[in-house]
Structure 1
């Protein structure tokens, strides 16, 4: 079995923002998207109502994990819901999404938003949304911890999130001294983000603490049905981390504003379509 190592690791740097934004950090900085493929970026945000009001998207998918507070989702297809701590929302922006993501009442919403690329052939797919509530994601318990599976097949269970581009997304909780052998497809590009605690990661035993990020080695020429092993050892009483993985798409992209397309001409077309009303009415 392919043994995963930490390829690169760093800690998120945060900056204070003007109201209604509060604080922001880049878990996956967009300028390194080629290293993260099929993922494009991941942002960590603290904000209040009014920060992410009505806005458009095209050409990619988002996965939003609520760390704390309440997040209200509104879209212009009539969808509306409130997500709470530990809940996840998936959006396929496809050809024309228009939505809002708001803090509820006076809450400070604390979220992680991951952008997942769409292959060129799927960038004009139908817009869709899926909410996965924390209690609906299956949990596999083991001595000293547990793994909650939001997407993909992990630890013998299947997560409920169904993305157009298949990925895995798991939340792992470990107590002090627990070692866990996490398995995921060997062809998947993967990264981890530490939500709390202190742990040792991978065959090369890299130490990471809260706000730590690590990309992992993988075997792109391997077989998608073969598993790889990632060894995780907790060094604190309460360690929690997210693991995301997916098969690289290997297409050139242009991430520009709220759109992710393959050429700058397609970006201009997206802006024209939005201003001409082709994305539909506002999300209110």
Structure 2
């Protein structure tokens, strides 16, 4: 299936399995378990994503809005194999630093807006604290196990739930289990504080910009010239 994207970034993180991708500019590759693809659609990109091989395929995809000054930049990719993503480890806690910084370890990923993306694993009876700028928005998605988030006396939250964090300058987490691992994703970012107008996979600031982008796509111009003849394999 071919997908067209404009005005934002996608961050694809494979938890299990693999998928192949290709785009109308000739970029192609395979993302495997633990790998990250950080794709900046910018002024526009048409691409395809398909499972690679048999078996279970699990992954997460995050959409990150681009600021008005970056919405029309050229598309680009940042691809990180699992082995190249830095880890921080201490006292039974392991943090995979996909974007931003944790426990003194910095990700090599370039983000146009300050962004935090962590994959954290806590062994039983361990705790973790991550500083987050007070002005940021942030959320947690639990992949495995259950944990206490925010306050020590809060009820535990189990796998496959999402928590949107309230005001504060950080997040504290406890794994109260005696035998099970807690694994969760923490994502945070500095708000753009700009208007958002979305039309499917087109994300701009005004309806006029949306109309212009749809016209460019339909008539294969202003960055979409290669779309006229491209078909995914």
Give the TM-score taking structure 1 as reference length.
0.74
Corresponding residue for residue 233 of structure 1: 174
- 1:107, CA displacement in angstroms? 4.5
- In structure 2, runs of 5+ residues without a counterpart are none
- 1:157, CA displacement in angstroms? 1.2
- 1:166, CA displacement in angstroms? 2.4
Superposed CA RMSD in Å reads 1.6
Distance 2:48 2:113 in 1: 23
Which segment is superposed worse, 203-212 or 171-180?
A: 203-212
- 1:232, CA displacement in angstroms? 0.4
Q: Deviations over 1:120-142 (max 9, x none)?
A: 12111111111112211111111
Corresponding residue for residue 209 of structure 1: 158
Corresponding residue for residue 182 of structure 1: 130
**Larger RCO, structures 1/2 (Cα 8 Å, 6+ apart):** 1
* Corresponding residue to 1:133 among 81, 87, 91: 81
Task: Summarize the Cα distance change of 1:206–1:117 in structure 2 as closer, same or farther, 3 Å threshold.
Answer: farther
Residues 93 and 127 in structure 2, CA contact (< 8 A), matched pair in contact too: no
* Corresponding residue to 2:206 among 247, 263, 282: 263
Residues 99 and 283 in structure 1, CA contact (< 8 A), matched pair in contact too: no
Distance 1:167 1:130 in 2: 15
Give the TM-score taking structure 2 as reference length.
0.90
* Corresponding residue to 1:99 among 39, 47, 50: 47
Distance 2:53 2:32 in 1: 13
SS state at 2:95 partner:
strand
Q: Deviations over 1:67-113 (max 9, x none)?
A: 22111121222211111112111111100111111111345432211
Distance 1:274 1:206 in 2: 48
- 1:265, CA displacement in angstroms? 2.3
Superposition pairs of residues 9-20 of structure 1, within 5 angstroms: none
Question: How many residues are matched?
Answer: 224
Q: Deviations over 1:153-187 (max 9, x none)?
A: 22111112212222111100011111112223332
- 1:276, CA displacement in angstroms? 1.0
SS state at 1:273 partner:
helix
SS state at 2:119 partner:
strand
Superposition pairs of residues 43-82 of structure 1, within 5 angstroms: 53-82=1-30
SS state at 2:83 partner:
helix
Distance 2:231 2:128 in 1: 43
- In structure 1, runs of 5+ residues without a counterpart are 1-52, 220-227
* Corresponding residue to 2:186 among 243, 246, 263: 243
Superposition pairs of residues 166-181 of structure 1, within 5 angstroms: 166-181=114-129
